[in-house]
Amino acid sequence: MRNKYTTLLLIFMLMALAACDTGLGPVHPDEGVFGLARAFRVAGARNVVMSLWQVDDAATADLMRNFYRQRLGERSDTSTALALAARQTLAARRAAGLSTHPYYWAAFVATGDALPSDGHSRASKTHTPSRDRSHPR
């Protein structure tokens, strides 16, 4: 029997965990990482966006604005929206003369269905946005 919170969670297509280290947790052999992101997936979230390290608040706010603009406004699938948001955040930081170190724009990854905006499912995948390794800071 499901409680009301589990039932509500099952309708979520996307959970964006925009905080520090949300993709981390203890690793269990043959099971993978047992963390907050896994808990949302097990509870029924189709897609989860999570961070792999400590994140900068202002940079994360910019990245998430770009992400939601791509995901909801442009109707990009989750992994594409995240990759485009990372590139937009990097470009904006570069244009403003701010650090372009990956710490500021590459902490987030997406896992899940990668459901495109037309509603037809593709194979499940995990996507890590490309990282600009040519400019360390």
> How is the chain split into domains, by residue range?
4-115
pLDDT digits 0-9 by tens, 2-43: 555 555 544 567 778 888 888 877 787 877 777 788 888 787
| Percent share of the chain, pLDDT over 90 | 38
pLDDT at 29: 86
Reported confidence tier of residue 107, pLDDT bands at 50, 70, 90: very high
Enclosing H/E stretch for 67 = helix 57-68
DSSP string, 85-116: HHHHHHHHHHHTT----GGGT--EEEEE----
Reported confidence tier of residue 65, pLDDT bands at 50, 70, 90: very high
pLDDT at 121: 44
